[in-house]
Amino acid sequence: MNLETLISGSKADLAKILARIEQAHNRGLDDPDLTDLLDQAFATPRGQIIGITGPPGVGKSTLISVLVKIWRNQGQTVGVIAVDPSSKRSGGALLGDRTRIVADPEDQGVFIRSMAAREQLGGLSSLTHAAAILMRALFDRVIVETVGVGQSETGISSLADTIVFCVQPGSGDSLQFMKAGIVEIPHIAVVTKADLGPPAERARADLEGALGLTSEQQGVQVLSVSATSESGLNDLVTAIDDHGRELHLQGVLGERRIIQASDWIAEEIRARFGREGLKRIEPHLRVKQASRPFSRAAELAVQLQKHNKR
């Protein structure tokens, strides 16, 4: 399967490939055709990956539905991955699916997929990385919805270009997490459900307070939005655009994506071969080979398997 075929193909073709990737993933992504395809996709990014993260129930999916609508109206194509921490796979079907993202199923310009998360809360499975990077080569925007509470090493920051952290009115807890440095530093922080009035205003003041604590966190834009009353949404879209453009202008995007790739290769190796395995291949990680990260990860896994058999 080559990338051009997929680019000119349909949503059904993409769904088929994602299912194949999912099957191969369970065997350590040992299919050279697929790793080739994913490396092609990594080398030809088209869109921006936007992580929408925040505690359960803050309104991420509802917000994403509105963002999809806005970008589709602008003629942009959108892919969405909802990482569902509560779902379990059973015979290919997702049970307990919490995705509530609404979009026109007939529209070929929007593709929504839900995926199970790794065991630990906030952990992204490397399958999510593969899917997002493939979709990044196909769509103008790729949105990844994750439940972010206590983040693990493989959080959304090793995948997204732009991270939007959501809190809702009356959620002192997530601010505590932020103060404790547990939540990854977002690029944009959003108070959802602004239509709730005074509690939403208080949440915004608290959020600004929490973000103002360390110099590192200054410069994070804080916005209030309501998906129900459709307020503040244009500002959010502008902030996401501006952040994407800034990364381009600074010329850091390519380098950042290579570092991210090394990070998730390392995490994948650690998950499969433990700290010992990771130590063994570490010297070979932070190099330009990361420009073919999927083949690289597969090669390293084969080497470690051979070593372990000896």
Ligand X SMILES: Nc1nc2c(ncn2[C@@H]2O[C@H](COP(=O)(O)OP(=O)(O)OP(=O)(O)O)[C@@H](O)[C@H]2O)c(=O)[nH]1
**What is residue 144's three-state secondary structure?**
strand
Quick check: 228 binds ligand X (CB under 6 A)?
yes
Nearer to ligand X, 191 or 220 (CB): 191
Q: How far is the CB of 286 from ligand X (least distance, A)?
A: 34
Region from 52-60, 126-134, 205-213, 262-270 binding ligand X, contact rule CB under 6 A: 52-60
Among ligand X, Mg ion, none, residue 212 binds (CB under 5-8 Å by kind): none
Q: Which is nearer to ligand X, 149 or 271 (CB)?
A: 149
192 lies in the site for Mg ion, by CB under 5 A: no
Near ligand X by CB under 6 A, which window of 206-214, 226-234, 271-279, 287-295? 226-234
The answer to the question of residue 61 lying near Mg ion (CB under 5 A) is yes
User: In what helix (H) or strand (E) does residue 306 lie, and over which residues does it extend?
Assistant: helix 293-309
Q: What is the dihedral of CA 298, 263, 93, 101, to 10 degrees?
A: -140
Min separation Cβ 195 and ligand X, Å:
5
Question: Counting contacts by CB under 6 A, is residue 196 touching ligand X?
Answer: yes
Which partner in ligand X, Mg ion, none is near 195 (CB below 5 to 8 A by kind)?
Answer: ligand X
Structure tokens at 295: 């083949």
Q: Which stretch binds ligand X (CB under 6 A): 111-119, 122-130, 220-228, 269-277?
A: 220-228
Q: For residue 302, give both structure tokens.
A: 């084969």
User: Which residue, 61 or 162, is less far from ligand X as judged by CB?
Assistant: 61
The crossing angle, in degrees rounded to 10, of helices 198-211 and 172-179 is 10
Q: Which of residues 62-91 bind Mg ion (CB under 5 A)?
A: none
Residue 148 phi, psi (nearest 5): -110, 115
Q: Which is nearer to ligand X, 140 or 195 (CB)?
A: 195
Pick the stretch among 60-68, 70-78, 219-227, 272-280 that binds Mg ion (CB under 5 A). 60-68
Which residues, 6 or more positions from 69, have their beta carbon under 8 angstroms from its beta carbon?
103
Q: Which DSSP letter does residue 289 get?
A: G
DSSP code string of 162-231: EEEEEE-TT-HHHHHHHHTT-SPPPSEEEE--GGG-HHHHHHHHHHHHHHTSSGGGTT-EEEE-BTTTTB
Cα–Cα distance, 111 to 99 (Å, whole number): 13
What is the rounded CA–CA span in Å between residue 271 and residue 302? 15
User: Is residue 295 part of the contact set for ligand X (CB under 6 A)?
Assistant: no
Distance, in Å, from the CA atom of 52 to the CA atom of 162, rounded to the nearest integer, reads: 9
Which of the listed partners (Mg ion, ligand X, none) does 226 bind, with a CB threshold of 5 to 8 Å by partner kind? ligand X
Considering only residues 56 through 115, tell me which ones interact with ligand X, judged by CB under 6 A. 56-62, 98, 100
- Report the residue from 13, 153, 195, 201 that binds ligand X according to the rule CB under 6 A: 195
User: What is the size of the binding site for ligand X (CB under 6 A)?
Assistant: 17
Nearer to ligand X, 193 or 257 (CB): 193
* Contacting residues for 78 by C-beta, under 8 A, at least 6 apart: 67, 68, 71, 72, 109, 110, 111, 139, 140, 141, 142, 143
Footprint on this chain of ligand X (rule: CB under 6 A): 56-62, 98, 100, 147, 192-193, 195-196, 226-228
